[in-house]
């Protein structure tokens, strides 16, 4: 079975010419729950096939009880931005579309840099799913693949 998420409509400060003047941009933003040793938190996150990693604010790690003091470090880069420092930790990630439910352990990067929205990239998330972006329906469909380690 697949998880199906409708795109979220993000307001634009001006009409979007390639979208025939729409005042919104459809984006595949989903609610993902991060489950730590002490708590869980729901975060909006962009499903991004161009992102290498899953990246969340460091404050979320603290809220769910993940200690990043001796965590492995790395860098993440985005379009038009220089590299940002991240500290990696394993975390349980949970997605549901209200019908289907998936939970797995994955690596996520946590950063002190300001994020517009968290990212669900390849490592830790999209490596475990086939992702089908239906532009005509403004929805994304995720189907678990043979690497999926969860429930």
Q: Distance (Å, rounded) from C-alpha 141 to C-alpha 151?
A: 17
Task: Enter the pTM of the model.
Answer: 0.93
Write the Ramachandran bin of 62: left for phi over 0, alpha for psi from -120 to 50, otherwise beta.
Answer: alpha
Domains of the chain: 2-6+29-144 (2.40.70.10)
Per-residue confidence (pLDDT) for residue 78, from 0 to 100: 65
- Read off the DSSP letter of residue 116: S
Locus of tokens 């678990």:
144
Q: CB atoms < 10 A from the CB of 122, how many? A: 15
pLDDT tens, position by position, 89-123:
999 999 999 999 999 999 999 999 999 899 999 99
- By C-alpha distance, which of 105, 145, 149, 106 is closest to 129? 145
Residue 45 has pLDDT above 80, yes or no: yes
- By C-alpha distance, which of 104, 108, 100 is closest to 147? 104
Per-residue confidence (pLDDT) for residue 82, from 0 to 100: 75
Per-residue confidence (pLDDT) for residue 100, from 0 to 100: 95
Tokens linked to 18: 């390639």
- Asked if 140 and 134 touch (Cβ cutoff 8 Å), the reply is yes
Tokens linked to 45: 């996150």
């Amino acid at each position: 079975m697949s998880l199906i998420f409708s795109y979220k409509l993000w307001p634009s400060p001006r009409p979007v010419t390639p979208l025939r003047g729409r005042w919104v941009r459809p984006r595949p933003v989903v609610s993902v729950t991060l489950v730590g040793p002490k708590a869980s938190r729901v975060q909006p996150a962009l499903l991004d096939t161009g992102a290498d990693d899953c990246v969340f604010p460091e404050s979320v790690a603290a809220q769910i009880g993940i200690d990043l003091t001796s965590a492995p470090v790395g860098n993440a880069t985005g379009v038009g931005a220089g590299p940002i420092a991240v500290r990696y930790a394993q975390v349980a990630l949970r997605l549901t579309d209200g019908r289907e439910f998936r939970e797995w352990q994955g690596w996520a990067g946590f950063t002190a840099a300001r994020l517009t929205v968290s990212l669900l990239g390849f490592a830790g998330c999209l490596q475990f799913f086939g992702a089908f972006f239906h532009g005509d329906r403004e929805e994304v469909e995720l189907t678990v693949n043979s690497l999926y380690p969860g429930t």
